[in-house]
């Protein structure tokens, strides 16, 4: 029996909270409790995000920058995104798994767009996200026609970095703000279930949030959104190259990792790693037969 939004919150057979769906997320508009989305790109990060109770895991194309070491998001392919989406999905999170369609995967033709979205669904995503406003409505409609939920993304769209000339706040003039609101309305009318608003002034985000019937998820868009998203590596302090003002750091795990690994290196060089209890020992008789008895530690030691 398929679940619906009205069904029980628990999967009765397994007594575990059921996984969130795109309609569940859409229904949270105006609920008063902001939606939480965090990126993840592999099984450990997905388990951490889901264990923290996030509503959505975004397998973002930011993987290009924070995991794969590229300077922008333009270098990842559908193959890359499917690879990382699979790793996240195999953890079977309760959170909705949304995967980014990478640059040039929804720009060429309707068939190509739908096939690429389907690859991400087969890899384990329950929804896909794509960047752009009115000029991407055909792509949104094609994917929705294939029964795949779509999340929109407007404002600062990182796949447009070369056209924008850098990562800049969008919607600062009245005309630019109106363009963003019009894009948001068009995407909502086309049927997106939620919309990411990146790096826009809070007044613009408020206008968008008040103008559409699906949740807005902000990143650098202030508090007048229906939810917030941040990148895993930014929250935890794994990413040092760029530190936008909208990032709040909750840990410095990058530095912690370096200092812990330096301690391991010190122990190896000092000869204190591995210790006896970190070592497999043969039985005394075996050691003796090997002619080593007395020169190595004993199993019983």
By annotation, the residues acting in catalysis are 198
Least distance to ligand KIV from the beta carbon of 114, Å? 21
Closest distance between ligand KIV and the C-beta of residue 152, in Å? 11
The least CB distance from residue 130 to ligand KIV, in Å, is 10
Q: Hey, is 18 helix, strand or coil?
A: coil
Token couple for 70 = 């590229």
The least CB distance from residue 103 to ligand KIV, in Å, is: 11
- The residue nearest ligand KIV at its CB is 60
The residue (of 40 and 148) whose beta carbon lies closer to ligand KIV is 40
Given the complex with ligand KIV, which of 98 and 186 has the nearer CB atom?
A: 98
State the virtual CA torsion across 82, 86, 89, 95 in degrees, nearest 10: -30
C-beta of 20 vs 103, nearer to ligand KIV: 103
Measured between alpha carbons, how far is 118 from 141 in angstroms, rounded to an integer? 14
Token representation of residue 57: 């895991």
Nearer to ligand KIV, 28 or 129 (CB): 129
CA 218-16-196 angle, to 5 degrees, is 10
Q: Are 85 and 125 in contact (CB under 8 A)?
A: yes
Q: Between the CA atoms of 38, 44, 47 and 48, what dihedral angle is there, to the nearest 10 degrees?
A: -60
Q: Which residues bind ligand KIV (CB under 6 A)?
A: 39, 58, 60-62, 100, 153, 196, 198, 219, 229, 231
Give the integer Cα–Cα distance in Å for 22 and 102.
20
């Amino acid at each position: 029996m398929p679940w619906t939004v009205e069904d029980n919150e628990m999967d009765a057979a397994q007594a575990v909270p059921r996984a969130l769906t795109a309609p569940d997320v859409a229904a949270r508009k105006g609920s008063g409790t902001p939606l939480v989305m965090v990126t993840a790109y592999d099984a450990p990060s997905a388990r951490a995000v889901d264990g923290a109770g996030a509503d959505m895991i975004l397998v973002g194309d930011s993987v290009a920058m924070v995991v794969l070491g590229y300077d922008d998001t333009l270098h990842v392919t559908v193959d890359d995104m499917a690879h990382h989406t699979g790793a996240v999905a195999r953890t079977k999170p309760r959170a909705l798994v949304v995967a980014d369609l990478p640059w040039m995967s929804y720009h060429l033709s309707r068939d190509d767009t739908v096939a690429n979205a389907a690859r991400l669904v087969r890899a384990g995503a329950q929804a896909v996200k794509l960047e752009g406003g009115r000029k991407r409505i055909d792509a949104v409609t094609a994917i929705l026609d294939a029964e795949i939920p779509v999340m929109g993304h407007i404002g600062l769209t990182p796949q447009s970095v070369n056209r924008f000339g850098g990562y800049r706040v969008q919607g600062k003039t009245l005309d630019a703000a109106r363009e963003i609101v019009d894009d948001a309305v068009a995407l909502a009318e086309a049927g997106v279930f939620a919309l990411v608003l990146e790096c826009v002034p809070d007044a613009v985000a408020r206008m968008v949030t008040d103008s559409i019937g699906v949740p807005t998820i902000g990143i650098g868009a202030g508090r007048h959104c229906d939810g917030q998203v941040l990148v895993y590596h930014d929250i935890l302090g794994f990413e040092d190259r760029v530190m936008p003002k909208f990032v709040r750091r909750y840990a410095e795990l990058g530095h912690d990792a370096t200092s812990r690994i330096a301690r391991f290196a010190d122990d190896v060089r000092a000869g204190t790693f591995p210790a006896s209890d970190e070592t497999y020992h043969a039985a005394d008789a075996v050691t003796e037969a090997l002619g080593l008895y007395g020169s190595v530690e004993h199993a019983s030691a």
